[in-house]
Amino acid sequence: MSLRYPCQSFEHSVARRNFLGTMAATGAGAIVGGLGAFTQPVLADQLKSDQKRIVIWDMHGGLSQLESWDPKPGTDTGGPFLSIPTSVPGIHISELMPLTAQQMHHLCLVRGVNIEENDHGIARYKMMTGREQIPGANEPRIGAVAARTLMPRDYALPGHIVISPGGGGGRSDDASYLGPRYASVQLGGGKPPENSTLPDSITVESDVARQEIRRRMNERFLRRRRTSIAEAYGHSYEQALQMMRQRDVFDVTKEPATDHERYGTHDLGRNALLARRLLEHGTPVVKVTHSNYDTHHENFNFHIEQLAEVDRAFSCFVEDLAVRGMLDSTLIVVLSEFGRTPRVNNRYGRDHWGKAWSIVMAGCRIPRGVTYGKTNDRGTEVIDGEVDHANLFHTYLAAAGVDTTGTFNIEGREVPIADPASEPIHAILG
């Protein structure tokens, strides 16, 4: 189905090789900062058993709450779809998500979100940073903050991974002042990062020598001028070597064929399965993207197609984490930058709506099988339990055990982890 999107925002309008194609089967033992220690199975298993994780499902463009988590059938705003019962008596969601409905006993629907913003870029900034956008300021996104607070200092592999259809292994700039170590690595297609095997033209012996020379030069430089940026630069090389050594962690083809069929053979199915695999291998922060929900045209046809993929992949993902005992240590968040208007426009679409919409959470300290917040009968405003982007940001981190009243020390300056003028949603933190 081909759809046109009239929204002309900047949001919808040369990554260098960050992970070098050089790796020796031996020679990684002299890793700066002790990264090699975490390749030992006993330590890795202990890390995985103690570690909290966060996985974000990003419905980019603005998922319609009325076609998903907060349907209003039989009203002039509700659209053509029915609501259906879930595995929790009294809670209904859209009929477009019948498989997810059967996992409701694991989920918490937050139906009273109001961020008072309808611009894609500004709304996304709010939802991803938990703060208002101020000229000249650039706050780190939730994934980078979570990686900084949850990732062990000597964690060998990237602790912040974004999985999208076009990801090839490069780093993004979403960590801001937290530094490149916590910026996301972009993956996609269910494949390991590009350039993560040793080129045929370079022998193992030659690469060992090259890496040793690099380490000596790096240490010589650091003895004269040690900075966080210089240390991050050296760390990225060592992390690249670890990624090459453990590249199978990023290869979703290692998962059983039955799981591929369950999740779906489309991009979202593969990406969700890769997310599960990464979490099982101890990755602290993963984001899965699905796009483009900016449905100014043909909202209903689009959601039929798009939510069929989400329903299958997401329901399998939730069920698998529950069956494998991972929900107690893994926070799941499903979000967008905003929702869609209750009013249906003359193109059978819904426009931007940040005033009354929904997100979903599950796992860690989040109660299961509940709703929080309520919109009125037509979905035009929040009438109970209103929360905003800052409340949500605090809640995500607090649910994973982070003290959101704390600070980061950035070059000697104390910077609040989350907006100090806000607080978590205490009513849904068990």
pLDDT in tens, 380-404: 999 999 999 999 999 999 999 999 9
Helix (H/G/I), strand (E/B), else coil: 240: helix
What is residue 42's predicted lDDT score, i.e. its pLDDT? 39
* Nearest alpha-carbon partner for 255 in 237, 273, 279: 273
Q: How far apart are CA 239 and CA 369, in angstroms?
A: 39
What is residue 54's predicted lDDT score, i.e. its pLDDT? 98
Spatial neighbors of 203 by CB under 8 A, at least 6 apart, are none
* Nearest alpha-carbon partner for 370 in 100, 97, 57, 87: 87
Residue 360 has pLDDT above 90, yes or no: yes
Q: How far apart are CA 378 and CA 64, in angstroms?
A: 14
pLDDT in tens, 47-73: 445 689 999 999 999 999 999 999 999
Pairing of the two strands 370-372 and 107-113 = parallel
All domains of the chain in start order, with CATH:
55-191+251-428 (3.40.720)
Residue 101 has pLDDT above 60, yes or no: yes
Residue 4 has pLDDT above 60, yes or no: no
pLDDT in tens, 130-159: 999 999 999 999 999 999 999 987 787 889
Q: Which residue has the tokens 């917040």?
A: 373
What is residue 379's predicted lDDT score, i.e. its pLDDT? 98
25-56 b/e with 16+ CB inside 10 Å = b? eebbeebeeebbebbeeeebeebbeebbbbbb
Who has greater pLDDT, 105 or 205?
Answer: 105
What is residue 209's predicted lDDT score, i.e. its pLDDT? 84
Percent of the chain scoring above 90 in pLDDT: 68
Decide: 137 and 399 in contact? Cβ < 8 Å: no
What is residue 50's predicted lDDT score, i.e. its pLDDT? 65
